[in-house]
Amino acid sequence: MTSMQNITIDVKPRNAGKHFNRSARMAAQIPAVVYGPKTKPLNFTLTEQDAVKYGKRAFENTIFTLKSEDKTLDGLKVLRKAMDHHPLSRRPVHIDFFAPDMTKVVRVNVELRFTGKAMGLADGGVFSAVRRDVEIECLPTEIPEFFEVDVSPIGLNQSMHVSDVNFPSNIKLITSPTETIATVSVVEEIVAAPAADAAAATAEGAAAAPGAAPAAGAAPAADAAKKEEKK
């Protein structure tokens, strides 16, 4: 499944500078920039609504088409590269886009989506996803939205590796085929002795030790008993 969804984003050209960026954000417009091998850096804004909507992981490898009255921006095909958020409000504050050469391959990370139920679960194993994406190279128009991975064959104390995934012939894998992506193993349960038992054991050991000092309060009690005998 590819991520080519023919999504168009309305954008407006903007002037660079903190003052202009603050004014844009106050008007619910998010500052952005686009650059690429055939595109000089261009500054623009998009609505905060679009920034939030298309800033999600599902659109990480989507090719967007910019729509603008500015001819240098209109029709430009871009990938979202980076998105900055305010540390407190988590609102988007800036987005970087990349305009790839549509005739040349690009390098991207694509999500792994696990399906099925590993066989090892029936034997008491626990499934663990070790890696949730892989790095690949392909043409921008052929970027997959995700790779589906069936984990059913994984038995107890077994692993699945990148080499076990079936990749299309038009995809060049960059991630090492030997890397583990999922495992099924037994989690050993560690039972700790109660603190009271541990303290009791320590006290018994101290009492049994030769020449052990009397417990606190023992000496005064013994002296009082001797005084009573003399009376």
**Mean per-residue pLDDT pooled into runs of 10, the chain (231 residues):** 73 89 92 95 96 92 95 96 94 96 95 96 96 96 94 97 95 97 86 56 56 51 51 48
CA distance 34 to 41: 6
Q: What is the DSSP letter of 68?
A: -
Instruction: Give the model's pLDDT for residue 129.
Output: 97
Instruction: Give the model's pLDDT for residue 17.
Output: 84
Instruction: Give the model's pLDDT for residue 205.
Output: 57
Instruction: Give the model's pLDDT for residue 203.
Output: 57
Instruction: Give the model's pLDDT for residue 187.
Output: 82
Whole-model pTM: value is 0.73
CA distance 157 to 150: 17
Instruction: Give the model's pLDDT for residue 197.
Output: 59
Mark 20-52 as b/e (b = at least 16 C-beta within 10 Å). Answer: ebeebbeeebbbbbbebeebeebbbbbbbebbe
For each of the domains in the chain, give its residue range(s) and CATH number, in order of start. Answer: 7-98 (2.40.240.10), 106-185 (2.170.120.20)
Instruction: Give the model's pLDDT for residue 200.
Output: 56
Instruction: Give the model's pLDDT for residue 89.
Output: 92
Instruction: Give the model's pLDDT for residue 199.
Output: 58
Residue 210 burial (CB count, 10 A)? 4
